[in-house]
């Protein structure tokens, strides 16, 4: 059986209330008890900020591909009459999307959503065959029309429409016996189709002992000054908070002085103002009440554990989840003797008449003064709480669903025709009348997201810099090389698609740059779908930062998003980068670390990233994932840039005649060119016959060194500067040199060291962790920043070289780009 | 994480800065005036430097909404196909009426 759960109840404002908690817990319990049944959760894309937290909640319970997001143009809230057309389109769109998942049964965790938010729920508008079950929490507005329906016609219309949908449900899950009876009596729903699935609380709601420090932190945060009486929950009229305040005000002065009344949880500001005014009217002073505002679950559990008494005066509940939560945490609980609360609390001694302030006050006084009674309430409450379990609730629900599916008589919609049926329904109902092209575009894009063409999963490789300009730095070499390997050997389940973005338009496009056959057609925007993967391989800070929202939207859709981090140098060594570079890098890192995995190009960079992350407060719903892989270095297997200048042969000959030391890398402060040049000037001055070949473009903040190089007397005699040469030429220069000098003070990886080893070229490297990681015992190392120190080291090295006693690099292990690409994919869990 | 000065920047400051950046980028001659102004506002200075060097780094592009104006060629290939289907369904309906 395939169960599709509509979990919008955990996306709307209900997520801050019992309905949201109930929806999540019930869905979780259905998944854990589903045995051979398949569960798919569907979410509404019009609540983008809620999707990642819900995905995280089900992370280890459900494959991420079983969490599907549907799209529709918004806004659709019923509160605004102008949304009617859009909402009706959204209702059909949602039903078509769910039908396309071919469910055996649909479970709507909360039907009464969408009045003041963008939730969309309906039953039987397009799909009239799939059984739908719905949790029925309560019918409070129907039973209290004067309070809820009559003052607001729009709400009444909305509510009555939802009731009609409710009556079309194949099954109802009532959350209590009281709620079950309400449905039977109020809407005459067939008795045999309603089941009391009851409710429960998460296992985290339990007794715990708080340390003094924890208690102090909590009471300080919420401005609680003494032992306290606790209330948690909403503030609508039925919650009866006015009477609670008046009852509290009628307690003896001594009791009030000893006990503060704390309202925990999110209460709208206007309600707080009203309650404070009520308190003032009742003669209470400011400190006697406390409003905590939003609290997280951990704080809520702590408050339940710390309170002297928990009071729940609501006169109408479907279940009364806070009561069960409080009892599970070992709080002494008293509550109203109305609707579902007596069955939840299961103890007549704990009940009071919610319409009598005196009765409420008497019960509070009794419990606060009689410790035996209080202990008895705690004991009985803990025992009663054990009767409720989500597993029990879920098993009842699953059994009912199985039964409904087995008796299903109508044929399901044919998946091939769903989109066509939807389009026909939209047109036949006149919902697209007067629709502009603009509106049709937006709708078409939503439908394309909802009904993607069958295709293999795609692995998007970000090559933005290669497409937008190609800075031809080391990063672009890596990008080209890894991309080449992935295109040659794509992972089994994926098509590899190079893509690029810009900072000027939202979205990434497929690039044809690496296709064998290109056409003049403009590059298409990517059509991502659940299960696709995006790897941010290339480096364009501003593009990634500008595309942040787009990437977040992709993640919501179920696309895994990983980034490769090459180094943290602009942050760690700000002085050797231009102004703003560190800040730009920081902003980029703070974006990329919000996504799934950050893949570093060495263990050393990973360590630096983890340390940096500790200094940041980036909000995540899941654990921060990092990993590292090593880069490849087989020049023949990349897409090398080609081309030799006319004088190449002559220059290469000159390099061969005298021992040539090679430096590879952009001319920038951290690369150590200045020190190396100083060292060689001293060597030349001392008559040592050596060449220095520098391969690298002009970077930044090195104007003086650049000028010096260009005007150097030894230029093209003993000093050679190769600016922006091709990979082909670089390889030849390697072949004509005897030693690589890696003088950089900071690197992400150190590719030149491996390339040197491939050419069996010895290495003289600065002693930094990344060079040790890459070259290990197969390189000679130097310390110090003076030219003289390095000159001495070079002299020593030359002596050893002449005697063939220098350290050789041949045995140094290195990876091919194919191995590197495989390692990257393996560590990201891509097969 | 954004650096503190960005966290503390006000909405109106942000708008002014954005406009200034666009203007200065279009009229390089005014860069000197902007540099002079920057001396008096460290927040502005940092922000402007960030913008000029890094592009609109913390000014993310917004994701499509129904209010966002888009063109047909901004749709994905699949979406364009659905748009054509929608059009043909509408035309068919008109004809049959």
First to last CA, chain B: 58
Domain assignment present for residue B47? The answer is yes
- Which stretch of A245-254, A672-681, A696-705, A764-773 has the lowest confidence by average pLDDT? A696-705
Domain count within chain B: 1
Q: Which residues of A touch B18 (CB under 8 A)?
A: none
| ipTM of the complex model | 0.82
Tally of residues, chain A: 831
CB burial of residue A637 (10 Å; 0-12, 13-18, 19+): middle
Check residue A517 and give its pLDDT. 56
Contacts of B71 in chain A (CB under 8 A): 441
Q: Tell me the residue range of the domain where B83 lies.
A: 11-58+70-96
CB contact under 8 A, A547 and B70: no
Q: Is residue B37 part of a domain?
A: yes
- CA of B83: which chain A residue's CA is closest? A444
Interface check for A701 against chain B (CB to CB < 8 A): the answer is no
Query: What are the residue ranges of helices labelled H in A663-722?
Result: 673-685, 703-710
Which residues have a Cβ under 8 Å from the Cβ of A2 and sit 6 or more positions away? A37, A38, A39, A40, A101, A102, A103, A104, A105
Q: Is B36 part of any domain?
A: yes
Has residue B52 got a pLDDT over 50?
Answer: no
**Residue A352 predicted with pLDDT over 90:** yes
Q: Across the interface, do B79 and A441 touch by the CB < 8 Å criterion?
A: yes
Of A186-200, A402-416, A788-802, which range is least confident?
A402-416
pLDDT the model gives residue B62: 47
- Tell me if the pTM is above 0.90: no
- Residue A173, SS3 per DSSP: strand
Nearest chain A alpha carbon to B82? A444
Going A267 to A271 to A277 to A281, the CA torsion angle's sign is negative
Q: Which residues in B lie closer than 8 A to residue A590 (C-beta atoms)?
A: 1-2
Report A:172-211 residues touching B (Cβ under 8 A): none
| B28 lies in some domain | yes
Percent of chain A with pLDDT over 90: 80
Is residue B46 included in any domain, yes or no?
Answer: yes
Chain B residues in contact with A441 (beta carbon < 8 A): 70-72, 74-75, 79, 83
From the list A771, A791, A810, A474, the residue with the least C-alpha distance to A661 is: A791
Residue B76 included in any domain = yes
3-state secondary structure of A829: coil
Write down the pLDDT at residue B7: 34
For A19-23, the CB contacts below 8 A with 24+ separation are A19/A110, A19/A137, A20/A110, A21/A202, A21/A321, A22/A109, A22/A110, A22/A135, A22/A137, A22/A175, A22/A199, A22/A319, A22/A321, A23/A109, A23/A110, A23/A135
B87 touches chain A (CB under 8 A): yes
Test B80 with A444 for CB contact under 8 angstroms: yes
Residue A385 has pLDDT above 60, yes or no: yes
CB < 8 Å from A in window 17-36 of B: none
| A715-723: average pLDDT | 94
Q: Nearest chain B Cα to A579, which residue?
A: B49
Are A584 and B83 a contacting pair at CB < 8 A?
no
Flag the least confident range among A37-51, A116-130, A521-535, B22-36: B22-36
Cα dihedral sign, A671-A672-A673-A676: negative
Instruction: List, for residues B56-90, the tens digit of each pLDDT value.
Output: 333 445 444 445 577 888 899 999 999 999 999 99
Task: Determine which of A282-291, A637-646, A674-683, A767-776 has the lowest per-residue pLDDT on average.
Answer: A637-646
Decide if pLDDT at B29 tops 90.
no
The distance from CA A223 to its chain's CA centroid, rounded to whole angstroms, is 33
Residue A701 pLDDT: 81
Could you identify the residue written with the tokens 């590059």?
Answer: A523
Of B53, B56, B66, Cβ closest to residue A503? B56
Nearest CA in chain B to A594: B1
What pLDDT score was predicted for residue B64?
44
Under an 8 A CB cutoff, do A427 and B89 touch? yes
Within-domain flag for B86: yes
How far apart are the CA of B49 and the nearest CA of chain A, in angstroms? 6
Please judge whether A527 and B77 are an interchain contact, meaning their C-beta atoms are less than 8 angstroms apart: yes
Q: What is the pLDDT of residue A394?
A: 97
pLDDT value for A617:
87
Q: Which of A419, A438, A547 sits opposite B61 (nearest CB)?
A: A547
Decide if B4 is inside a domain: no
Judged by average pLDDT, the poorest of A312-326, A349-363, A538-552, A745-759 is A745-759
Angle in degrees, CA A709, A714, A717, rounded to 5: 120
pLDDT beyond 70 at A34: yes
Paired residues of A336 in beta bridges: A352
């Amino acid at each position: 059986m395939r169960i599709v759960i509509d979990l919008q109840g955990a996306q709307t404002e209900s997520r801050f209330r019992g309905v949201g908690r109930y929806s999540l817990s019930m869905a979780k319990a259905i998944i854990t008890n589903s045995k051979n049944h398949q569960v798919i959760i569907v979410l509404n894309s019009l609540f983008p900020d809620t999707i990642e937290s819900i995905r995280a909640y089900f992370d280890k319970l459900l494959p991420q591909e079983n969490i599907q997001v549907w799209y529709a143009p918004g806004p659709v809230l019923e509160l605004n009459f102008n949304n009617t057309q859009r909402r009706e389109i959204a209702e059909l769109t949602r039903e078509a999307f769910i039908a396309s998942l071919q469910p055996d049964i649909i479970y709507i965790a909360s039907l009464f959503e969408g009045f003041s938010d963008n939730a969309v729920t309906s039953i039987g508008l397009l799909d009239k065959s799939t059984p739908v079950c719905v949790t029925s929490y309560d019918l409070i507005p129907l039973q209290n029309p004067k309070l809820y329906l009559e003052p607001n016609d729009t709400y009444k219309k909305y509510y009555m429409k939802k009731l009609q949908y409710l009556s079309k449900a194949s099954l109802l899950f009532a959350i209590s016996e009281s709620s079950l009876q309400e449905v039977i009596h109020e809407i005459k729903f067939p008795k045999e189709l309603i089941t009391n699935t009851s409710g429960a609380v998460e296992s985290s709601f339990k007794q715990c002992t708080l340390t003094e420090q924890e208690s102090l932190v909590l009471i300080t945060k919420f401005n609680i000054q003494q032992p306290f009486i606790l209330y948690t929950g909403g503030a609508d009229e039925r919650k009866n908070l006015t009477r609670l305040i008046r009852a509290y005000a009628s307690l003896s002065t001594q009791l009030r002085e000893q006990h503060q009344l704390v309202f925990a949880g999110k209460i709208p500001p206007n309600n707080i103002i009203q309650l404070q005014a009520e308190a003032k009217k009742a003669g209470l002073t400011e400190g006697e009440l406390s409003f905590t505002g939003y609290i997280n679950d951990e704080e809520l559990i702590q408050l339940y554990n710390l309170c002297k008494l928990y009071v729940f005066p609501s006169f109408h509940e479907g279940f009364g989840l806070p009561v069960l939560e409080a009892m599970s945490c070992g709080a002494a609980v008293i509550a109203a003797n109305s609707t579902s609360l007596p069955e939840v609390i299961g103890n007549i001694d704990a009940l009071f008449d919610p319409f009598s302030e005196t009765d409420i006050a008497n019960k509070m006084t009794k419990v606060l003064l009689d410790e035996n009674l209080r202990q008895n309430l705690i004991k009985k409450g803990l025992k009663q709480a054990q009767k409720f379990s989500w597993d029990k609730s879920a098993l009842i629900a699953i059994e009912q669903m199985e039964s409904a599916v087995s008796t299903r008589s109508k044929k399901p919609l044919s998946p091939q025709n769903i989109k066509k049926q939807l389009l026909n329904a939209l047109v036949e109902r006149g919902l697209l009348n007067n629709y502009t092209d603009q509106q049709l575009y937006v709708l078409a894009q939503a439908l394309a997201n909802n009904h993607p063409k069958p295709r293999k999963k795609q692995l998007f490789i970000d090559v933005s810099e290669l497409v937008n300009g190609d800075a031809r730095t080391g990063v672009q070499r890596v990008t080209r090389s890894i991309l080449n390997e992935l295109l040659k050997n794509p992972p089994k389940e994926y098509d590899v698609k190079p893509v690029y973005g810009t900072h000027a338009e939202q979205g990434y496009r497929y690039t044809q740059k690496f296709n064998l056959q290109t056409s003049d057609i403009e590059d298409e925007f990517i059509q991502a779908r659940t299960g696709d993967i995006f790897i941010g391989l290339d480096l364009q800070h501003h593009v990634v930062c500008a595309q942040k929202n787009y990437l977040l939207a992709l993640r919501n859709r179920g696309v895994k998003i990983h980034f490769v981090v090459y180094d943290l140098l602009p942050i760690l060594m700000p002085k050797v980068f231009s102004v703003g570079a560190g800040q730009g890098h920081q902003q980029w890192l703070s974006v990329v670390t919000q996504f799934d995995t950050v893949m570093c190009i060495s263990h050393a960079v990973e360590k630096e990233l983890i340390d940096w992350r500790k200094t940041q407060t980036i909000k995540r719903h899941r654990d921060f994932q990092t990993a590292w892989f090593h880069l490849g270095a087989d020049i023949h297997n990349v897409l090398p840039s080609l081309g030799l200048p006319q004088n190449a042969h002559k220059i290469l000959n000159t390099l061969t005649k005298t021992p040539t030391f090679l430096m590879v890398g952009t001319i920038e402060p951290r690369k150590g060119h200045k020190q190396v040049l100083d060292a060689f000037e001293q060597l030349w001055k001392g008559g040592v016959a050596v060449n220095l070949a520098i391969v690298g473009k002009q970077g930044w903040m090195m104007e003086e060194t650049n000028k010096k190089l260009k005007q150097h007397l030894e230029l093209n005699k003993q000093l050679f500067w190769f600016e922006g040469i091709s990979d082909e030429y670089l390889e030849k220069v390697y072949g004509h040199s005897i030693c690589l000098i890696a003088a950089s003070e900071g690197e992400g990886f150190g590719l030149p060291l491996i390339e040197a080893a491939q050419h069996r070229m010895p290495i003289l490297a600065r002693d930094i962790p990344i060079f040790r990681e890459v070259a290990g015992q197969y390189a000679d190392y130097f310390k110090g920043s003076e030219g003289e120190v390095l000159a001495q080291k070079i002299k020593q090295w030359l002596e050893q070289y002449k005697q063939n006693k220098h350290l050789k690099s041949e045995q140094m292990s290195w990876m091919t780009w194919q191995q590197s690409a495989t390692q990257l994919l393996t560590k990201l869990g891509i097969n | 994480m954004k650096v503190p000065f960005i966290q503390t920047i006000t909405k109106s400051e942000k708008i002014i800065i954005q406009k200034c950046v666009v203007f200065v980028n279009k009229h390089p001659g005014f860069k000197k005036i902007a540099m002079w102004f920057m001396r008096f506002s460290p927040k502005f200075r940092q922000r402007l430097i960030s913008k000029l060097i890094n592009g609109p780094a913390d000014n993310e592009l917004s994701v499509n909404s129904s209010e966002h104006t888009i063109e047909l060629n901004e749709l994905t290939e699949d979406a364009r196909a659905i748009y054509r289907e929608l059009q043909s369904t509408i035309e068919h309906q008109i004809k049959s009426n």
